[in-house]
């Protein structure tokens, strides 16, 4: 049960990131979230929308895992949480250390809970 709540949290978090990156990147909320100047936001808007789409795919996979039959749910959760963890580690190493706590840590907690469950 707790593992499902964490999986749902990570999915909702990635839907939020999708909205920030695809629709709010060059708006005040998006610029604040990512520490962007207005000029930088305009220059990187298309790239950010692409990143947002990928975050949406992660969210979709996690939501699918919550609706899937039990035999399929756990492997899906391992796969998609693993993808989130790798993305979070890469982002923390290359873009911003805060990604480690915002993205990678919740995925790692979710993986641990799914493994124990």
- Tens of pLDDT, residue by residue over 15-49, are 999 999 999 999 999 999 999 999 999 999 999 99
The pLDDT score that the predictor gives to residue 65 is 98
In angstroms, rounded to a whole number, what is the distance separating the alpha carbons of residues 95 and 86?
A: 13
Averaged over 70-97, what is the pLDDT?
Answer: 96
pTM of the shown model: 0.93
Annotate 68-78 with b (16+ C-beta within 10 A) or e (fewer): eeeeebeebbe
4 CB contacts (<8 Å, ≥6 apart)? Answer: 66
Does position 117 have pLDDT exceeding 90, yes or no?
Answer: no
Q: Cα–Cα distance between 9 and 86 in angstroms, integer?
A: 17
Q: What is the pLDDT of residue 100?
A: 96
Question: Among 20, 27, 12, 90, which residue's Cα sits nearest to residue 49?
Answer: 20
């Amino acid at each position: 049960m707790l593992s499902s709540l964490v999986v749902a949290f990570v999915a909702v978090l990635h839907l939020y990131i999708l909205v920030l990156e695809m629709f709010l990147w060059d708006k005040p909320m998006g610029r604040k979230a990512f520490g962007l100047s207005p000029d930088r936001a305009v220059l990187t808007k298309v790239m950010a929308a692409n990143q947002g789409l990928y975050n949406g795919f992660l969210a979709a996979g996690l939501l699918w895992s919550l609706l899937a039959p039990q035999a399929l749910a756990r492997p899906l959760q391992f796969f998609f949480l693993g993808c989130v963890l790798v993305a979070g580690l890469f982002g923390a190493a290359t873009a911003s250390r805060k990604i480690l706590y915002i993205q990678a840590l919740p995925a790692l907690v979710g993986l641990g809970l799914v493994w124990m469950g």
